[in-house]
Structure 1
Amino acid sequence: MNTILKFISENLHKVRKPARYIGGEYNSYIKDKKEKLRFALVFPDVYEIGMSHYGLEILYHILNSFNFVYAERAFLPWVDMIDLMIKNNVPLYTLETKTPLKQMDAIGISVEYELSYTNIFKVLELSELPLKAEERNDKDPIVIAGGPCVFNPEPISRAFDIIYIGDAEENIGELARVLYETRGENRFKRLELAAKIKGVYVPIFYEQKGKKIVPLTSVPKKIRRNVIDDLDNGSVPVKKTLPNVESVHDRAVVEISRGCTRGCRFCQAGYIYRPVRERSAENIVSYAQNMLKVTGYEELSFLSLSTMDHSQIVQVIEAILPYAEENRISVSIPSTRADAFSVRIMSKIASIRKTGITLAPEAGSQLMRNRINKNISLEDIFKSVEGAKEAGWSRIKLYFMVGFPDETDEDIKEIGNILREVKKVGFKNVVASVNLLVPKPHTPLQFAKVKKPDYMRYVFEILKPYRKFAKIDINNGKKSYIEALLSRGDRKLFDVIMVKYKKAFFDEWSEFFNFDDWLNAFHIAKVNYEDYEGPFNFKEDLPWDHIDSGVNKAFLWKEYENYNRGTLTHDCRWDVCTFCGVCQIYKVRNTLKKNKKTQ
C-alpha cells in the first residue's frame, strides 16, 4: 500500500474532521498522470476555507482544461493532523493522487491575506522544500504565488520562484506551457523564460536598494498585471468541486463582474482589479442554473465587488427568481451599499428566505464619507434602513472603519448616532462591526499613517454609551496593525516572518495570533516596525512601485490630496474618464453589458 494511503487509513480517526484529508470529492478531477505537468494548487489554510475560495476553483478548472496539465489540490492541515504527519514522517500531499508536493512539477500558492504568510512557510516545510527560492535545485518544483497580496509581494517574495500578477485567464496557460516544455532543464534558464511572460515576476532577478526593487538582469523594471478584457470569455467552474466537509461559503457561486470604479479610497480591490468588466445577464443566469443542477446546492451567490452596480442586475434577478422560487433556492449577495436601490433588490431576493441584511456605510460622519469617496449621504443610509424594515427584515448589520487620517472624536461619535437612529426604526437586532483601517498598497491611502492598536481602546470609550442601541463589535486593532505592516513591507520582513512562523502560524486564527510574538519577531530580526507605519510621500520609493496595477502613482497621490480636501471623485463607468491610467496603459475599457455597449 502507498505510504501516504497507509498513514491515512491508520490515523484519520485521531483527528478532527478527517474528511478534510481524503479527497475524492464529487466533480474533482481524475486524469492520467503520464506526460503531464503535475501542478499542485495550494490554499495555505484549512480545507473549509480553501474550498470556499472562488479563485482557487477557477484555477483548478482552467489548468485542468489543458490536456498537458494535471492540477491537483492541497491545503494546510489543522494542527492535530500536522503533528501526526511530522511524527510519522509524512509530507504534505495532494488530495487527488496522494502525491507528495515535493514530487510535483509546480506548486501554486494562493496569497489572499497577509496573516497567511507564516502558513506559507509551514506549507513549504511540510512539503520538505527549502523556504528560500535561491536554495532550491533543478529537481524541486517551481513554487508560484498569485492573489491580491502579490501586488506587494516583497515581504514573502524570497519564498517564491515565480509570482503571477493579475487575472489567471490571461496568461496562466502560457506559463504552464513554458514549465511543461522545460521540465528537467536548468532551473535558472526556466525562470528566465518565465520572466518573459507578461505579468510574471521572478524575484531572484531583482534586488532591493533602499526600499526600491530594481532589476539585476534585463527583466522589466515594472511588472504589468494580466487583465482579461471581457469576462464573458472567462472561465466559470460550473461543475464546482463539492467539499467533503461543509465549507465556510458552501454554495453555488457565479462571478457576475470583475473590477470596481466607485473609487473608495481605502479599497485595494477597487484599484487593482480595474476596469469594470461585466458578465452578460444571459450568461449569468445560464451558468447559475447549470451550476445549481450539477451540484445540488440550495443557495446561490452572485459574486462581485459591487454587485448592485451591475448594469443588468434587475434582469438577472428577474430571470433567476422564478427558477429559485420553484426549486426553493435562496439567493445571496455580499454586503452591499447603503442605498434604496440595493434594498429594493435585496427585498426581492429575500422573499424566498429572509435572514439578516448587511449594509456598509463605512464611516460615521458625512465629512469622512466624502473623504473616503463613499458617495452616500445620511439620508441614503436611513432610507435604506427604513426600506429594509418595511420589507420585513428584523436583523441588520452595519460595517464601519476608524483610524482614518485627521479623524476626530465627532466623526467616531457619528457612528453611534447612526446606530441610535437605526434602532429607532424598529430592528430587534442591530449589530455594528468597527475595524481599524489598514492602509493598503495601490490605494490613495497607501500614503497614510496606520494607527497603533491602542487607538481602538480610545474608540471603544467613545462608542461605549451607544452600546444600548446596538451590539458593537470593536476589534482590538492588533491584527489590523500587523496586517498593515506586512502589506506595506519590503524584503527585510522576510526574516521577521521566518522568526514568527517558527514560534507559531495560523495567525489569522484568534487562538494562534499573538501580537507580542510579532513585535518580538521584529526585534529578533533587527527590523524597526515603525518604519512601515507611514506616512509616506509621493516622491519616496515604495516597495511595491515595481508592480504595475495599471493605476498610476500620480493618480493615487491626487486622490490622497482629494481625501484631505474632502473632494469626491466620480465613478468613471457612468461618467467621464478620471485618467487613473488603467485604460490608457492596458488598452482596456469598462465593459457594461446593458444594451451591449462598451463604455
Structure 2
Amino acid sequence: MTEILKFISEEGIKVKKPARYIGNEYNSIYKDPKGKFRIALSFPDLYELGMSHYGLEILYHLLNSMEKVYAERVYLPWVDMIELMETKNIPLFTLETKTPIKFLDAIGISLEYELSFTNVLKLLQLSQIPIRAEQRAEDDPLVIGGGPVTYNPEPISQAFDIIYIGDGEKNLKKLIEVLIESKGEKRIDRLEYVSKLNGVYVPIFYKQIGRKIIPVSNVPKIIRRNIISDLDEAIVPVNKVLPNVESTHDRAIIEISRGCTRGCRFCQAGYVYRPVRERSLQNVVSSAIEMINKTGYGEMSLLSLSAMDHSLIQEIVNELLSFSKKYRISISIPSTRVDAFNVEVASKIASIRKTGITLAPEAGSQKMRDKINKNVSFDDIFNSAFNAKKAGWNRIKLYFMVGFPNEKEEDILEIGTLLKEIKRLKFQRITASINLLVPKPHSAFQFARLQSYEYTEYVNNLLRPYRKFARIDISDGKKSFIEGVISRGDRKIFEVLIRKFKKSFYDDWTEFFSFEDWLESFKESEVEIEEYLGPYDINTDFPWEHIDSGITKAFLWKEYTKYLNKEITKDCRWNTCSYCGVCQIYRVGNLVKKVV
C-alpha cells in the first residue's frame, strides 16, 4: 500500500485527471479489512462511466451491508495511467485502501456490453491475475462476472471462475456466504460448492461440443436466473458515492421499475428482465428525497426501461414536485416511449429545468414499427414531439435502427419523412441517431442475419437529402457488426479476444476501436466471422441455451415468425398472457403497484 501511495503522489499526478485514482470520495465506505472477505467490484471501463453505473452502486452497498465482507471499487485506468503503471510495475489497486487486486479474495466484474470484453482481459492483466481461469493458483482471487451480457457469457467465459446470472439482490449474498465458509479449502472444491446454487454458472465444469455447452461433471445442465419478485425489497443506494471527477450521469438515480413486457422484438433487456416489477410510490419518493439530502445533487433521474409506463408515474412526479421546486431539483426521465409520453407530466418536469428530450421510434415506417412490435404510430410520435415542444423542450433526439430482415428502401426513406414533419415544430435542434441492428441472444432476433457494416453507407446515401431537416448521425456500422458477431459467439471467440486485447482495447471508444485489429485477430485465431452471422432457425443449437432467462426458445421463434408475418403481440400487463415462459417457469408475475 505504501508503494502505491507513493506512486500516486509522485507519478500519478502526471496523468490526465489524476483524481480518478485517489479515492476518498464522499460516501465511500471504509472498514477494518482484517478478517473480512475482501472483494473488488469493477466496472471494466473509465472511472467516469463506472461511477455512473447504478448496478455496481447497488452491489457496493449490498455487499458492504454484510458484516464479514468488505467490498471496494476499481475501474480500468485511462491509457496514460495504464502505460505508467506498466512501466513502474504497479498492479491495479482498489480505490478505498489502495490494495493490489491480486491480494483480495475475489473480484466482481460487471459485464454490460460485448465491446468491453477486451477491457476485461486488460483489467486482469493489469491486476497481474492469470487471464484464463484454469491457470489460476490457489491463492489467486476468484473472478466473478455478472450483468446482462452473461445471458451469453461464452465468448469471455474462460476468463471467469464464477458467473452470476440475474438479479444480484436475490442470491448474491448466499454466494458470498458459501465462499466465506469454504475459505481455505481447495479452489476446485469451492467452485463445486457454488455451482449448486441457483443462477451460478461455473464455466470450468462445462465444455463445448459443436455449438452446445454441456456439463462435464455433476452440475446443473441448465442455469436458471435469479429473480427478485418485489422491487420494494431491493436495496436503494441512497448514500451514493460522489465521484471526484464529473461522471457521465452525475445525478441522483432512483430505479422506479425493473423489467418490460412491451415485447419489442429487438430488445434483449425487454425479454431477460421480465416480468415487470414496479417500486411503490412511497418507496420511490422517500428514497429519492433521502438520496438528494445525502448527496446534494441538483438532478434526479427516474430509472426504468420505460419510466413513463410506471402505473403511478403521475403520482410520483406530483409527490416529488414540491420538493424539487423548493430546492431547484430537476427531474429527468431518460427512457421515454413515444406513445406513453404525457404532456401533463412533461410540463411539470420542464417547469423546473428544461433539458433535451429523447424519443425512440426505432423504425421509420409504420410497417416496420408494427413488425418489430414497437406498436407506435406516426401520430403517437408526432404528438409526443408536439407535446414536448409545448411543454418547453427545445431540443429533441430520436433513435432509429436499420438492418432489419427484409427491410426495404422505402422503410428507410420514411425516417427522413418523419424528421421533415418534426422540423415543422420548430425545435432549436433535432438529432437523429441511426445504428445497425445487433441481433441479440434471448431476443426474437437471435434467429436473424446480422447485416454487413457496409449497409450503413447505403442508408447514409438514402438519407442525405434529409440532412437539411435534422442532424443525422449514422454510425459506420463496424462497431455494431463486431458487437453482433461477439454477442452470438461461442467459446472459440475467446481466442480472438486474447489476440485482440494485446493489439488494442477500449473498443467502445471511437478513438481506440480498430476494425482492422478485429479482422486480423479473427484471421490469426482461424475463426470464421461468417459462422456467427446467421440466419438461424428453431433447430439451431445456440451456445447460450444452458443459460435460462425464463423466455422459451419456442416463444422467441414464434415472435420471429410473427415479425416475418407482420403480426403484433400485445403487452401482457394490460392484456392476456403471451406465454413467454417466465411466469410459468419461475412462478413470478408482473407486479404493478397501482391500486385499481
Alpha-carbon offset, residue 231 of structure 1? 0.3
State the SS of the aligned residue for 2:335: coil
- State how 1:314-393 maps to structure 2 within 5 Å: 314-339=314-339, 341-393=341-393
Write out per-residue CA displacement over residues 77-126 of structure 1, whole angstroms, 9 at most, x where no aligned residue.
00111111111111000011111000000100001110010000111101
Look up the match of 1:499.
499
Alpha-carbon offset, residue 342 of structure 1? 3.4
- State how 1:507-546 maps to structure 2 within 5 Å: 507-546=507-546
Whole-angstrom CA distance in 1 between matches of 2:547 and 2:115: 21
- State how 1:80-479 maps to structure 2 within 5 Å: 80-339=80-339, 341-479=341-479
Alpha-carbon offset, residue 12 of structure 1? 2.0
Whole-angstrom CA distance in 1 between matches of 2:366 and 2:559: 18
State the SS of the aligned residue for 2:253: strand
Read off the aligned partner of 2:447 and give its amino acid letter: F
Look up the match of 1:553.
553
Read off the aligned partner of 2:257 and give its amino acid letter: S
Runs of 4+ in structure 1 over 4 Å off: none
Q: Which runs of 5+ in 2 are unaligned?
A: none
Whole-angstrom CA distance in 2 between matches of 1:403 and 1:343: 33
Q: Are 1:18 and 2:18 an aligned pair? A: yes
Write out per-residue CA displacement over residues 139-184 of structure 1, whole angstroms, 9 at most, x where no aligned residue.
1110000001100000000000000000000000000001111112
Write out per-residue CA displacement over residues 379-419 of structure 1, whole angstroms, 9 at most, x where no aligned residue.
11111122122222222111111000000000000000000
Whole-angstrom CA distance in 2 between matches of 1:584 and 1:310: 23
Write out per-residue CA displacement over residues 16-58 of structure 1, whole angstroms, 9 at most, x where no aligned residue.
0000001111111100111110011011101000000000000
Question: What do you get for the CA RMSD once the two structures are aligned?
Answer: 0.9
Read off the aligned partner of 1:528 and give its amino acid letter: E
Read off the aligned partner of 1:87 and give its amino acid letter: T
Whole-angstrom CA distance in 2 between matches of 1:438 and 1:343: 32
Alpha-carbon offset, residue 339 of structure 1? 2.5
Whole-angstrom CA distance in 1 between matches of 2:13 and 2:41: 26
The more displaced of 423-432 and 359-368 is 423-432
1:340/1:383 contact within 8 Å kept = no
Read off the aligned partner of 1:538 and give its amino acid letter: I
Look up the match of 1:34.
34
State the SS of the aligned residue for 1:243: coil
Whole-angstrom CA distance in 1 between matches of 2:346 and 2:556: 33
Whole-angstrom CA distance in 1 between matches of 2:34 and 2:579: 50
Whole-angstrom CA distance in 1 between matches of 2:196 and 2:183: 17
State the SS of the aligned residue for 1:462: helix
Read off the aligned partner of 2:463 and give its amino acid letter: L
2:305/2:335 contact within 8 Å kept = no
State the SS of the aligned residue for 1:59: helix
1:133/1:160 contact within 8 Å kept = yes
State the SS of the aligned residue for 2:506: coil
State the SS of the aligned residue for 1:155: coil
2:20/2:47 contact within 8 Å kept = yes
Read off the aligned partner of 2:152 and give its amino acid letter: N
TM-score norm. by structure 2 comes to 0.99
2:304/2:335 contact within 8 Å kept = no
Whole-angstrom CA distance in 2 between matches of 1:384 and 1:501: 44
The more displaced of 342-351 and 528-537 is 342-351
State the SS of the aligned residue for 1:121: helix
Write out per-residue CA displacement over residues 122-141 of structure 1, whole angstroms, 9 at most, x where no aligned residue.
11101111110000111111
State the SS of the aligned residue for 1:154: coil
State the SS of the aligned residue for 1:567: coil
Look up the match of 1:47.
47
Alpha-carbon offset, residue 340 of structure 1? 6.2
1:139/1:184 contact within 8 Å kept = no
Whole-angstrom CA distance in 2 between matches of 1:118 and 1:307: 32
Alpha-carbon offset, residue 468 of structure 1? 0.8
Whole-angstrom CA distance in 2 between matches of 1:446 and 1:343: 36
Whole-angstrom CA distance in 2 between matches of 1:427 and 1:49: 30
2:309/2:340 contact within 8 Å kept = no
The more displaced of 552-561 and 418-427 is 418-427
1:336/1:342 contact within 8 Å kept = no
2:350/2:393 contact within 8 Å kept = no
Read off the aligned partner of 1:447 and give its amino acid letter: F
Whole-angstrom CA distance in 1 between matches of 2:89 and 2:377: 59
2:432/2:473 contact within 8 Å kept = yes
Whole-angstrom CA distance in 2 between matches of 1:348 and 1:140: 53
State the SS of the aligned residue for 1:594: coil
Alpha-carbon offset, residue 343 of structure 1? 4.1
State the SS of the aligned residue for 1:425: coil
Read off the aligned partner of 2:515 and give its amino acid letter: F
Alpha-carbon offset, residue 458 of structure 1? 0.2
Alpha-carbon offset, residue 335 of structure 1? 3.1
Read off the aligned partner of 2:239 and give its amino acid letter: K
2:485/2:533 contact within 8 Å kept = yes
Q: Are 1:70 and 2:74 an aligned pair? A: no
Read off the aligned partner of 1:459 and give its amino acid letter: V
Alpha-carbon offset, residue 13 of structure 1? 1.8
Read off the aligned partner of 1:377 and give its amino acid letter: S
**Residues 502, 340 of structure 1: CA spacing in aligned structure 2 closer, same or farther, 3 A cutoff?**
closer
1:138/1:185 contact within 8 Å kept = no
The more displaced of 420-429 and 99-108 is 420-429
TM-score norm. by structure 1 comes to 0.99
Whole-angstrom CA distance in 2 between matches of 1:369 and 1:200: 37
Alpha-carbon offset, residue 346 of structure 1? 2.2
Q: Are 1:586 and 2:586 an aligned pair? A: yes
Whole-angstrom CA distance in 2 between matches of 1:171 and 1:462: 50
Look up the match of 1:577.
577
Count, aligned residues: 596
Alpha-carbon offset, residue 576 of structure 1? 1.2
Whole-angstrom CA distance in 1 between matches of 2:526 and 2:4: 41
